[in-house]
Chain A
Amino acid sequence: GAVVSQHPSRVICKSGTSVKIECRSLDFQATTMFWYRQFPKQSLMLMATSNEGSKATYEQGVEKDKFLINHASLTLSTLTVTSAHPEDSSFYICSAEPDRGKETQYFGPGTRLLVL
Chain B
Amino acid sequence: AQKITQTQPGMFVQEKEAVTLDCTYDTSDQSYGLFWYKQPSSGEMIFLIYQGSYDEQNATEGRYSLNFQKARKSANLVISASQLGDSAMYFCAMRELDGFKTIFGAGTRLFVKA
Contacts and interface: CB of A to CB of B under 8 A. Distances in A.
B100 interface: yes
A54 interface: no
B38 to A, nearest CB: 11
Given A44-B91, A46-B102, A46-B103, A104 B47 contact: yes
* Chain B interface residue number, banded: 20 to 34
B111 interface: no
A67 interface: no
Interface string B79-93: 000000000000100
Interface string B17-49: 000000000000000010101000011111100
A56 B33 CA distance: 23
B106 A112 contact: no
B104 interface: yes
Contacts of B100: 32, 34, 49, 57
A110 B37 CA distance: 14
Interface in A67-116: 91, 93, 95, 101, 103-110, 112
Q: How large is the interface on A (under 10, 10 to 19, 20 to 34, 35 or more residues)?
A: 20 to 34
A105 B43 contact: no
Contacts of A107: 37, 44-47
Contact of B101 (A1, A49, A110): A49
Contacts of B35: 104
B91 A43 contact: yes
B51 to A, nearest CB: 9
